[in-house]
C-alpha cells in the first residue's frame, strides 16, 4: 500500500494513535515490528477507503519510450493484481513487494504460514499466466 506526501504523515500519526490505544492487546510472544506493521497497514487501508487513489509522479526524467513502456507495464500489473482475491493480493504484496518472509506475512495477516505460502504461490501463477511475456 503506497501513500505519499502529507497523507503518509497523517496515516502514520493515526497509526501511532491506534497503536497507543491498542497497546494492551500486544501479545508478548509476537514481534513488536509485525504488530506495529499490521496497525500501520490497517491505517493505510482505512485511509485508501476514505479517499480516491492518487498517482504520484516520479522525479526521474526518462525517455518517453521508457516512460510509456513503464506505464503500460505498471497498468498491466495493476490490472492483473486487481483480478486476484483480496487475500491473495495482500499475501503477494507483503511477500513480493514489501519483502516480508512468509512467517512475518503470516503473522501480519494472522494466518498459518502454509496458507500464506499457498496464496502467494497461486497469486504468482495467476500473474504469470496473465502477464505472459512481461518481466
pTM for this predicted structure? 0.53
One-character DSSP codes across 54-88: --PPPS----HHHHHHHHHHHHHHHHHHHHS-HHH
Q: Are residues 118 and 69 in the same domain?
A: yes
Give the side-chain half-sphere CA count within 13 A for 37: 17
Q: How many structural domains does the chain have?
A: 2
Q: Are residues 121 and 69 in the same domain?
A: yes
Q: Are residues 47 and 94 in the same domain?
A: no
State how far the Cα of 7 lies from the Cα of 75, in Å rounded to an integer: 23
Q: Which residue has the higher pLDDT, 116 or 31?
A: 116
Closest C-alpha among 124, 129, 2, 132 to residue 73: 132
| pLDDT tens-place string over residues 97-121 | 888 899 988 988 889 999 999 999 9
Amino acid at each position: 500500500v503506497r501513500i505519499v506526501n502529507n497523507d503518509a504523515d497523517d496515516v502514520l500519526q493515526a497509526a501511532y494513535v491506534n497503536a497507543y490505544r491498542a497497546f494492551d492487546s500486544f501479545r508478548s510472544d509476537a514481534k513488536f515490528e509485525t504488530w506495529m506493521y499490521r496497525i500501520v497497514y490497517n491505517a493505510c487501508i482505512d485511509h485508501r477507503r476514505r479517499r480516491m487513489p492518487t498517482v504520484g509522479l516520479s522525479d526521474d526524467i526518462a525517455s518517453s519510450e521508457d516512460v510509456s513502456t513503464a506505464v503500460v507495464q505498471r497498468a498491466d500489473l495493476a490490472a492483473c493484481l486487481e483480478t486476484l482475491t483480496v487475500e491473495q493480493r495482500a499475501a503477494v504484496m507483503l511477500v513480493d513487494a514489501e519483502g516480508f518472509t512468509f512467517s512475518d506475512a503470516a503473522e501480519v495477516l494472522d494466518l498459518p504460514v502454509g496458507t500464506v505460502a499457498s496464496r502467494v504461490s497461486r497469486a504468482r501463477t495467476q500473474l504469470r499466466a496473465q502477464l505472459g511475456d512481461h518481466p
